[in-house]
Amino acid sequence: MSQRTQAVANSEEEPNMPSLRSYLSRMKNLALSSNANSSQRKTALVMGNPSADLDSFISAVVTSYLYNLRRNARQSGSRTYIPVLNLPAIRSSDLWRLRPEYGVAVRLALGEPADAVSQGEAGSQGKTSVLDELVTIADLKENEESSLQRFFLDSGDSESRSEEGKQHLFLVDHNSPSIPGLSAEVISSRFTVTGCIDHHVDENYISKDAKPRIITTGIGSCTSLVVKHLRDQGMWPSPVQEETQPLVEISRLALAPILIDTSNLKARGDKCSDIDREVVKFLESIIKSQSAEVTKSSTSSPSAWDGGAFHASISTAKSNSLDLLSMPEIFDRDYKVWTEKTSSGSEINIGISSLVRPLSWLIKHAGGIDEFLASISDFANDLERKLGVFCLLTRTGEGRKEVVVLSFDEAVKDLTAKFEDRGTELQLKRWAEDRALMDRLTQKFEEKGERTGEWKIWFMGDTSKSRKQVGPLLREVVRDL
């Protein structure tokens, strides 16, 4: 028996409600073991979307934690839920640098004061050994012992398996499975989606028989829907039922993406809903209750709960996260991709990168306009991406948003004009902040007198809109071309 398999066996003896660190360690040992999926143990992978932002990460962890807690209580041999990050090229050991807000959120969840976390040097605030206990697709692909490895290898095998032979997926923060490096046909042949909680537009992929099947738009954070579902099903324990500390850790963790995605409940429109506000109130009540208990039993005076400092600590880590990254890492950091067919049958890969810095910063970081455009070209034309359309969504320091749409395929001719025509809800406005950039783009897409693609840049007038609106619009336009 391997060390990991032995660790999995030993973990069955652990408490019903483990600490966050202990839980993640148990899940990693299971995911990388030879019996992660066998006749003796059935598993479901809880997975967010390929952007792998804070919302996807924490939605997956919280969902799996509480589903497994219910499973342990029943002791019925039911399915084990393993959280897996949808990152085929990033190992968990690299998350502290590429996703520092993960580490900050985890440190805060474990009880470190926000001011202490924020005082760390830039680039080191996300360092915590707990991140090494997470599981990414890259970790699974590199581990030959794991019985889950075969589901993620790009072997080109799309032969249909029986339902019994497919790996179960529970999707969070998206409702149509997307795994970079695997085609839709391969995904369909290897996986079956048995549950879904999401706040994006319904793509009508999820079976009506899926349990749960929660796809609700107009919600700021998917984690809000996760917590609401768990409460509605009686799966969220009360402090009376369970040990207080693990429950507070999970509550703090769940709070992180909700406050980030709703700008500390100050966002407008569908970026912040009554459900988000209700869930924040619920989670903070658990945290404040524990703080009150600590105060009663302690001679010292612990600091009161400060949601503003909690939010600011994570937000700052996220904003500064691009400083230490290369241009490809920046584009790939919060990235989603889809494949759509035009009316003539041409398959077009559409990639969208959401960035927390403006174009001016990106150009400077790249080393200049030519270097910036070269990095875009290299990223879009990479053999694993082959993008026909690439969109950048950026934020300026004045709270404005920039939208860049680039097309590299004649099959999507007139894309930018039709996107602008249909983007009335985005309130697209003329962008002319950098004449040198505009001139170089024109030259690049009309080399030697031949048109090689299209480009256009706008300001987004309605800053409450995001990739949740831009993505479906771009895909719709491509389908109709």
Shared domain check, 245 and 196: yes
Q: For residue 168, give both structure tokens.
A: 């179960």
Q: Is residue 63 over pLDDT 50?
A: yes
- Kindly state the average pLDDT of the residues 8-27: 76
pLDDT band at 13 (very low <50, low <70, confident <90, very high): very low
pLDDT (0 to 100) of residue 76 = 53
DSSP 318-347: HHTTTTT--HHHHHHHTEEEEEEE-TT--E
Closest CA to 320 of 471, 137, 117, 465: 117
- Domain range for 443 is 327-480
pLDDT (0 to 100) of residue 199 = 96
* Among 318, 350, 380, residue at a domain's last position: 318
- Kindly state the average pLDDT of the residues 435-451: 82
- Kindly state the average pLDDT of the residues 172-195: 93
Shared domain check, 35 and 126: yes
Backbone angles phi, psi at 353, to 5 degrees: -110, 125
pLDDT (0 to 100) of residue 207 = 94
pLDDT (0 to 100) of residue 238 = 80
Q: Is residue 41 over pLDDT 70?
A: yes
Domain of residue 365, CATH code: 3.10.310.20
pLDDT (0 to 100) of residue 241 = 57
Shared domain check, 423 and 297: no
Shared domain check, 125 and 13: yes
* Among 318, 343, 362, residue at a domain's last position: 318
pLDDT (0 to 100) of residue 375 = 97
Instruction: Tell me which range, 40-44, 103-107, 150-154, is most confidently predicted by mean pLDDT.
Output: 103-107
Shared domain check, 216 and 93: yes
Contact present, 174 and 190 (Cβ < 8 Å): no
State the distance between the two ends of the chain, measured CA to CA, in whole angstroms.
Answer: 57
Shared domain check, 398 and 467: yes
Q: Is residue 409 over pLDDT 70?
A: yes
In which residue are the tokens 């080399």 written?
447
Q: For residue 195, give both structure tokens.
A: 């549950």
Q: Give residue-wise pLDDT tens across range 264-287.
A: 999 888 889 999 999 999 999 999
Closest CA to 256 of 109, 354, 128, 134: 109
In which region does residue 15 sit, left (phi positive, over 0), alpha (psi from -120 to 50) or beta (all else)? beta
Shared domain check, 422 and 392: yes
Shared domain check, 244 and 365: no
Shared domain check, 332 and 303: no
Q: How far is residue 65's CA from residue 18's CA, in Å, rounded to a whole number?
A: 9
pLDDT (0 to 100) of residue 301 = 47
pLDDT (0 to 100) of residue 335 = 92
Q: Is residue 298 over pLDDT 50?
A: no
In which residue are the tokens 């967010």 written?
48
- Kindly state the average pLDDT of the residues 426-445: 93
Q: Is residue 169 over pLDDT 60?
A: yes
Q: For residue 205, what are the CA distances in angstroms to 353, 442, 480? A: 23, 39, 20
Within 13 Å of residue 155, how many CA atoms lie on the same side as its CB? 11
Q: What is the dihedral of CA 427, 428, 430, 435, to 10 degrees?
A: 140
Could you give the percent of the chain with pLDDT greater than 70? 88
pLDDT (0 to 100) of residue 5 = 53
Higher pLDDT, 238 or 416: 416
Higher pLDDT, 257 or 36: 257
DSSP 35-54: TSSSSS--EEEEE--TT--H
pLDDT (0 to 100) of residue 300 = 47
* Among 256, 289, 318, residue at a domain's last position: 318
Beta carbons within 10 angstroms of residue 183's beta carbon: 13
- Kindly state the average pLDDT of the residues 184-193: 93
For 78-95, the three-class secondary structure string (H helix, E strand, C coil) is CCEEEEEECCCCCCHHHH
Q: Is residue 291 over pLDDT 70?
A: no
The set of residues, in sequence order, having a beta carbon less than 8 Å from that of 448 and lying 6+ positions away, is none
The set of residues, in sequence order, having a beta carbon less than 8 Å from that of 96 and lying 6+ positions away, is 102, 103, 126, 127, 128, 131
pLDDT (0 to 100) of residue 295 = 46
pLDDT (0 to 100) of residue 324 = 83
Side by side, the strands of the sheet bearing 43-47 are 80-84, 43-47, 167-172, 191-198, 213-215
Shared domain check, 183 and 76: yes
Within 13 Å of residue 241, how many CA atoms lie on the same side as its CB? 12
pLDDT (0 to 100) of residue 293 = 58
Q: For residue 76, give both structure tokens.
A: 């019925």
Shared domain check, 466 and 411: yes
* Adjacent-strand bridge partners of 366: none
Q: How far is residue 357's CA from residue 397's CA, in Å, rounded to a whole number?
A: 8
Backbone angles phi, psi at 83, to 5 degrees: -75, 130
Instruction: Output the pTM of the full model.
Output: 0.88
Beta carbons within 10 angstroms of residue 277's beta carbon: 15
Contact present, 213 and 196 (Cβ < 8 Å): yes
pLDDT (0 to 100) of residue 290 = 74
Contact present, 150 and 178 (Cβ < 8 Å): no
Q: Return the DSSP state at 384.
A: T
Higher pLDDT, 16 or 116: 116
SS3 212: coil
Cα angle for residues 177, 45, 83 (degrees, 5° grid): 110
- Kindly state the average pLDDT of the residues 219-238: 95
Domain of residue 108, CATH code: 3.90.1640.10
Shared domain check, 93 and 55: yes
Q: How many domains does the chain have?
A: 2
pLDDT (0 to 100) of residue 1 = 46
SS3 456: strand
pLDDT (0 to 100) of residue 123 = 67
> Looking at 114-123, 341-350, 366-375, which range is the least confident one?
114-123
